[in-house]
Each structure stands twice: as structure tokens, then as C-alpha cells.
Amino acid sequence: MSDWIRIAATARVTKGDPSNEIPATPDELVNFGSQIAADAVFGSFLEFSSDYWNGKLSAVPDDFAAADINSEGGSSARIILRVNAAQYQMDQGGLQHLLGVLAGDLFFLRIPGFKIADFQVTDVDLPTSSVASLEAHFRKEAYTTKRIRAAFDLSEDEPLMAFSIKPRVGLKREALREIVLGVLEAGFQIAEFDTRYLDASQEDIEFIIKLASEAEKIGGTKRITRLSPNLSFSAPMAIDICKVFRTSSNWPYVVKVDGGFDGFSTIQALRQSFKGTEAPIITCYPLLRDQMNSRIPRDFFIRALALSGADIIYPGFSPSVGGGTRQLGAAEITAVSSATKRYAGFVQQGWPLVTLAGGVYAGQLHCLYELVGPNVAFFLGGAVALHKNGPLQGADLCVRVVRKAAELHAREPKDVRDLPGKLIEEVEAAYEKPPGSDLGTLSYFSPKDFLAQVKVPRW
């Protein structure tokens, strides 16, 4: 019996000229589904009707793919496409092949007499056999959230904190050194080179290795502190750099690979090249997650990166809290509740370790900590770099806010209290407010009233 990759999608299917479009009939949708299945693997824009093809296929067409398409009212239709998983060998780049097919021409159908519009892939489900193959080849040397937290010797209430170095490019080396070491000294565990920092000259690699050794010494015997380079290169180049970089510090060592076009192959190659304590902790920013969302659902993109061996990932669509106390509308409450539950799902699964990132500032950290807890990491950029007095003061402020949030929660887990008044004043004076912004911009966001409205389960 075949294992099937299941792809769910929605679309509008109509016929007729643009001035008089009418929905396709149920029988026409059946034929349309057959064309989708054929086009997914072996077909073209019409059926192969000639006798020439008799006996020339290794199996009957239904063994390669099948599709069901049903009307959801009007011209809206729901499509379930099943593709034989044997066509995608996961240990040989099959996952990348599948992603390319989904993002490519799979659903760019042209069927005479019909118009297909508003196409959206809503779900992709891999069979157990494909998941098992990916896990065996690429997750065997990867790390769980529990293992990462143990590697950094974090206390029960302490989240992992990383600074995504900003400005991303252009910093002089001496300034970069000052910032990296200063941020780690302030209490961060990781300083990582953000997306777009990809200088790989021999001189730069030597500088990074030396800086990584200095970064390790910041923590001494009390804390684990590390520098993480960005290895978003081709797989052979990333492996070569990683071989040298891992000598810069004791385990754990951390590298970053962005989820771009080469990202999957590079992560998979790193996972297969390094074993045991030689294997790096791999952080990943999923660059193409949103750009391909109509064809590759966001959570499947994240799952694909994790199955490829990424350990720490920003999944996007984190709980969104604003600035200043305000009443939330029903849509906002629903969005925050949904996002918080989604993050809780990642935590419960145990891998990857997901992060809060993307526009987070110090005034939001207390509320975010109360929403998601310590098993979600804080990967902060602007929250540190945009502080009026510079990134070292920004790092110090963020660390003190998170530590106080953890202390307050540990002391009274069922009774949410605000930060001390002086710390709130520091938070609200930390950043220059953009011209024309309202009074609540970049201010402290109290979790007390917010959580009462959202009503998410406490972690």
C-alpha cells in the first residue's frame, strides 16, 4: 500500500467569459480534479489519449496521484491532492524537491474553458514514512528544547536570550567586538550575526573565531556565553567554516543558517557532517516563510526546517502586544489567544525551540514572558540596538526586565503584578519615539489587564 503526501487547497473555479462567469458543475469539478492529479506528476494540459502510451507507464495513473475536489458553495472549491511519497526520497533532497514543486508550477493550471483563481494551499501533511526518514537522517544529531536549555545551564524560570546583531552590516570590527562582548556581559547567552551579514573572507573568519573565544570567556564558570556566526552559504562552504569555527569554544557552539533557497540543503548537510558534541546548535530565521505562503503553508515551512535539523526557529505570528494599556477588540483577543496556543504547541512538542523576535522592544518583554513562559527564547535586535544610550544599555535593560518578570512569576505564579515603578520609567524612557506617534508607542505594556482580557491558560 502506498504512502501519500496529502495537500489541501482552496480555489475558485469558474467557466464562461469574464463578463458572465458561472461556477463549475460537480461533474466538471471531478474532471478538473483528475487533471490536477495528472499534472501533479506525469500530465500535461490535456489527457494522453493516444494508443501510443498504452503499456508505457510503470504503474496505473492512480498509483502516482489522485485528487478529490468538492464545491464549497458558489465558485469556491476545496481540493485534496494525494501524491505518492515514493517520488520524494527524503534522504536525497526530496523535501526540497517537494517544496519546489509546491512553490513552482504545480497548481498553475490552464484548462480550456475554465478559470482558476484565488488558489491557496492550506495544509501539507507528510506520511509517517517520510517524517521517519527525515528524522533519521537530519534530526538524529539535532537538539531538543530541553537539551538546549541544559547546554546553556538555564534555570527553570530563565529563557534563552540572544542578540541578533544590529546594524546588520557595516560595523567596524572593533565596534562589533565591543558590542558582542558587552551584550554578553550584560546577561545575554548568545550574540548572533543577523540575516545579511555574510562576510566570509579569510580575515573575517579569523576575526570571528578569535571573537568567539573571547565570547566564551565572558561567562566564565558561572554562565554559558557564545557567539553565533551566520553560515547561510552553500553546504560545502558552511561545512568547511564550521569545522574551523567549532574549535573556537567548548560545546555548545552555535551557528545560524537562514531559511532561504540554500538553507534546507545547508542545514541537512551540517547535520550529516557533525556528530555528537561536534554537532552545532543551529538557529534559523525562515526567510521565505511568508513570501511563499499561498503555496507553502507557514507552519509546514517551519516544520520542514525543523525536520531538516534546525534547532531554534522564529516561527512568525508570535503573540502581538502593543504599547500602552488599552481595551482589546474581539479580533485582537482571538489573534493573541491563537498565537499563544500555537507557541504552547511548539513547547509541548519539545522541538524546535521557538523564539520571540521581530519588532519586540523592552516594554513588551514582561507581557510576552507571562504569555509564553521560559521555554520560548527571546531573540532581540532593535530592543537592544535602538536604546538611546546604545546597545550595551539596551541589553542591560532587557535582561533586567526579563529577570524581574521571571522573579515576579516565580514568587506569585497566579497573581500577575507589574514591574517596579522605576524599572517601568526606565523602559518608557529607553527609545526615541517616532515623529507623530501616539503616547503609548514604545511604552511599558502591563500584562495584568491584558491577560485578564485574553484569558490564555497559564504555563
pLDDT in the model for residue 16 = 80
| Cα 160 off chain centre by | 16
Task: Provide the grid cell at 37.
Answer: 492529479
Cell of 42: 506525469
pLDDT at 325 over 50: no
pLDDT of 199: 79
- The residue-averaged pLDDT of 403-429 equals 94
Kindly state the cell numbers that stand for 125: 501533511
Indicate the pTM of the whole model: 0.94
* Long-range contacts (CB closer than 8 Å, 24 or more residues apart) made by 452-455: 453/327, 453/328, 453/333, 454/328, 454/333, 454/336, 454/337, 454/340, 454/371, 455/337
Tell me the residue type at 450.
F
Tell which residue, 183, 184, 242, has the closest CA to residue 208. 242
Comparing 209 with 437, the larger pLDDT belongs to 209
- What does the block give as the cell for 86? 515514493
Report how far residue 101's alpha carbon sits from residue 63's, in angstroms, rounded to the nearest whole number. 19
pLDDT mean over 417-428 = 96
Name the pLDDT band for 109 (thresholds 50, 70, 90).
Answer: low
> Strand pairing of 226-228 and 4-15?
unpaired
**pLDDT (0 to 100) of residue 197:** 79
Check: CB of residue 181 under 8 Å from CB of residue 214: yes
For 126-169, write each residue's pLDDT tens digit. Answer: 999 999 999 999 999 999 999 999 999 999 999 999 999 999 88
Report the distance separating Cα 181 and Cα 183, nearest Å.
Answer: 6
The pLDDT > 90 percentage for the chain reads 71
Among the residue ranges 197-206, 251-260, 265-274, 315-324, the one predicted with the least confidence is 315-324
C-alpha separations of 26 from 5, 21, 71, 74, 79 in Å: 25, 16, 7, 11, 13
Contact 357, 351 (CB under 8 A): no
Strand partners, 14: 23, 115
Cβ neighbourhood burial of 22 (10 Å; 0-12, 13-18, 19+): exposed
- Exposure on the CB side of residue 318, measured as CA atoms within 13 A: 25
Residue 207 cell numbers, joined? 576575526
Q: Locate 32 and state its grid cell.
A: 478538473
Strands (E), 271-414: 281-284, 312-313, 353-356, 377-380
Number of alpha carbons in the 13 Å side-chain half-sphere of residue 35? 18
pLDDT tens per residue across span 10-64: 999 898 877 788 998 988 888 888 888 887 777 776 777 778 888 888 887 788 8
Residue keyed to cell 501539507: 124
Q: In the chain, pLDDT over 70 holds for what percent of residues?
A: 97
Give start and end residues of each alpha helix (H) in 122-229: 128-134, 145-151, 173-186, 202-219
Ordered domains of the chain (ranges, CATH): 4-132 (3.30.70.150), 140-454 (3.20.20.110)
d(CA 398, CA 392): 10
| 322-323-329 Cα angle (round to 5) | 45
* Res 206 pLDDT > 60: yes
- Here the cell at position 154 is 538555564
3-state secondary structure of 244: helix
444, HSE (Cβ side, Cα atoms, 13 Å): 22
Do residues 385 and 166 make contact, with C-beta atoms less than 8 angstroms apart? yes
User: Which residues are registered as beta bridge partners of 12?
Assistant: 76, 117
The mean-pLDDT minimum among 120-124, 243-247, 331-335 falls in: 331-335
